[in-house]
């Protein structure tokens, strides 16, 4: 292990996080709605957080000042895995160093702050904060918070909470590669560890060009959505926070009842459209926007046709349509909603929010009929497309699994059959099929093992004796929601709930699951292998 090189890159990432915190400083000013006392405390807390990031980054850069070797596979894995953990710890500082109360008279503890920070960076959207809004009629909110009457969260902290989504959505390492641009082939190794999906080819010959292009598309979609939300009547703060949560498929909101708190169908429809866009492979946007040097090739019509003919994208849309149709029929047929339009509206929003792993909500689907909850639970594991900001297993892996199982079934009665694995007519290396099978096996083992661990670690006192089945469901929902980076699960951690009632040991376990899900297992698992850290 080249420790000096790893330290230098981690130092640069620390400085990047400190620089990102600067954008929160304006929200500590009274002009942006912050009151005077908390403005001073929040500003001071943010400045101290930035200072810590600078100091940590400086120390790491000093330790790696003599690093000259090239970035290899092992170092790339270490930088990605440790880098994300470091970002989560540094990102927790604003929650600790500012007057942030997760509930009346209860400031955020270190486990709570790290949980909230990593939930933001991994775009999970799981939260321990119980009250995001100051209750109506409270004039002196600082004194009320200090007296333990209300929970209070400074606007700068809420903005940082949502901004971590936006940073983690496209990827901290991808942004790092785009800005630094000095890693050469090592940058490609870094991006392969962070960009989700088994098929993650670069769209440009140079890795820095790919990183800049992906972030350019991401920034463009974010700007467009912010403008639309402003036109729908949201203020700049809410528009930016919900744009960050939508494009990153994160789900942190500024309202206690999430997007449902606005009660505006126009806002919900806008978020639906951009959630679907965020769950789409960003490489397809490049193919749609690029222009060929030859006018006779790649016309607009051909690019649009290529976009919609992608097998993963078509399967993605088909699953969204099937899930929405099923839930609409169930919700209206069981009388949960009195009109088809209401059933369709809430079914569509929550299906898209769950499958893209965004986690926004308009209704508490934990109270819906059993079949509806079952469909949503299954969609939690599917997730978005590869190369998107969505979490979950990814649609492409299910397509590859289907093709592998189909080939193996055919070989059962044709043992001498030699037929390559193909996706969209293109031959896929056999190693991809093997990797997908290994991934499904690992996900199953981690899911089952974590469920059992959470059942053991979480004290029974959180539930009544007659509610043993509820503990079983709540723990299963929490594990599925964090491992797939969705956020809201079932029961106590549903769309209108949170994770504050879980013990600190349980929060630590769920924090690890969020990292495993975001980095697709191996970048975290290798950190636990002693041989990985040996100097060669």
Average pLDDT (26-32) is 71
The reported pLDDT for the residue numbered 487 is 84
Greatest C-alpha distance within the chain: 79
The reported pLDDT for the residue numbered 412 is 78
Rounded Cα distance, 352 and 366, in Å = 16
Mean pLDDT of the chain: 83
Question: Residue 319: pLDDT band by 50, 70, 90 thresholds?
Answer: very high
Asked whether the beta carbons of 244 and 333 are under 8 A apart, the reply is: no
Helices (H), 73-206: 73-91, 93-97, 110-121, 141-146, 155-170, 172-180, 185-194
For the record, the structure tokens of 252 come out as 């942190």
CA dihedral for 141, 493, 467, 507, sign (positive or negative): negative
What residues does 101 pair with on adjacent strands? Answer: 107
Rounded Cα distance, 363 and 257, in Å = 8
- DSSP summary character for residue 473: H
Rounded Cα distance, 283 and 313, in Å = 11
Residues found in the chain: 536
The reported pLDDT for the residue numbered 140 is 60
Asked whether the beta carbons of 382 and 393 are under 8 A apart, the reply is: yes
Residue 293 or residue 442, greater confidence = 442
pLDDT of 206 over the 80 cut: no
Least confident piece of the model among 224-233, 330-339, 388-397, 412-421: 412-421
Rounded Cα distance, 263 and 286, in Å = 35
The reported pLDDT for the residue numbered 463 is 65
Least confident piece of the model among 206-220, 266-280, 462-476: 462-476
Over residues 232-255, the pLDDT tens digits come to: 999 999 999 999 999 999 989 988
10 Å CB burial of residue 92 (0-12, 13-18, 19+) is buried
Using alpha carbons only, how large is the chain's radius of gyration in Å?
Answer: 23
3-state secondary structure of 153: coil
Rounded Cα distance, 353 and 449, in Å = 27
**DSSP secondary structure of 5-46:** HHHHHHHHHHHHHHHHHGGGGGGGSGGGT--HHHHHHHHHHH
So where are the chain's domains?
A: 3-194
Over residues 440-485, the pLDDT tens digits come to: 999 999 999 999 999 888 887 666 654 666 778 888 889 999 999 8
């Amino acid at each position: 292990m080249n420790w000096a090189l790893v330290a230098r890159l981690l130092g640069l990432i620390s400085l990047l996080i400190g620089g990102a915190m600067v954008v929160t400083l304006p929200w500590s000013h009274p002009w942006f709605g912050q009151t005077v006392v908390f403005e001073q405390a929040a500003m001071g807390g943010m400045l101290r957080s930035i200072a810590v990031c600078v100091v940590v980054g400086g120390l790491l850069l000093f330790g790696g000042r003599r690093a000259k070797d090239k970035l290899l596979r092992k170092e790339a894995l270490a930088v990605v895995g440790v880098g994300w953990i470091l970002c989560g710890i540094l990102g927790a500082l604003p929650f600790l160093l500012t007057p942030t109360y997760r509930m009346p008279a209860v400031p955020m503890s270190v486990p709570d702050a790290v949980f909230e920070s990593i939930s933001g960076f991994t775009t999970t959207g799981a939260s321990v904060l119980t009250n995001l809004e100051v209750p109506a009629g409270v004039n002196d909110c600082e004194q009320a918070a200090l007296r333990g009457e209300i929970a209070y969260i400074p606007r700068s902290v809420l903005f940082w909470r949502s901004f971590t989504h936006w940073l983690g959505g496209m990827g901290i390492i991808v942004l790092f590669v785009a800005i630094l641009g000095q890693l050469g082939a090592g940058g490609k190794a870094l991006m392969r560890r962070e960009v989700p999906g088994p098929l993650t080819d670069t769209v440009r010959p140079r890795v820095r060009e790919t990183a800049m292009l992906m972030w350019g598309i991401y920034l463009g979609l974010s700007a467009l959505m912010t403008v639309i939300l402003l036109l729908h009547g949201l203020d700049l703060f809410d528009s930016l926070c919900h744009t960050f949560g939508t494009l990153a498929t994160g789900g942190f909101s500024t309202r206690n009842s999430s997007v449902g708190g606005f009660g505006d169908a126009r806002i919900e429809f806008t978020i639906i459209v951009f959630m679907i866009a965020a769950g789409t492979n960003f490489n397809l946007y490049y193919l749609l926007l690029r222009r060929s040097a030859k006018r006779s090739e790649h016309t607009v019509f051909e690019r649009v046709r290529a976009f919609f003919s992608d097998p993963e994208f078509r399967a993605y849309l088909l699953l969204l349509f099937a899930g929405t149709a099923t839930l609409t029929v169930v919700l209206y047929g069981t009388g949960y909603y009195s009109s088809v339009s209401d059933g369709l509206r809430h079914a569509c929003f929550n299906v898209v929010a769950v499958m893209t792993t965004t986690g926004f909500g308009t209704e508490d689907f934990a109270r819906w009929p059993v079949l509806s909850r079952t469909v949503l639970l299954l969609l939690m594991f599917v997730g978005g497309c590869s190369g998107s900001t969505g979490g979950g297993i990814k649609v492409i892996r299910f397509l590859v699994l289907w093709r592998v199982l189909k080939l193996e079934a055919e070989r059962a009665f044709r043992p001498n059959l030699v037929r390559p694995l193909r996706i969209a007519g293109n031959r896929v290396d056999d190693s991809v099929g093997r990797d997908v099978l290994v991934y499904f096996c690992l996900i199953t083992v981690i899911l089952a093992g974590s469920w059992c661990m959470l059942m053991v670690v979480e004290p029974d006192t959180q539930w009544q004796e007659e509610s043993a089945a509820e503990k079983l469901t709540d723990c299963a929902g929490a594990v599925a929601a964090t491992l797939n980076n969705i956020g809201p699960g079932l029961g106590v951690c549903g769309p209108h709930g949170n994770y504050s009632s879980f013990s600190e040991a349980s929060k630590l376990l769920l924090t690890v699951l969020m990292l495993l899900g975001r980095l697709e297992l191996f970048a975290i698992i290798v950190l636990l292998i002693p041989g990985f850290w040996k100097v060669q």
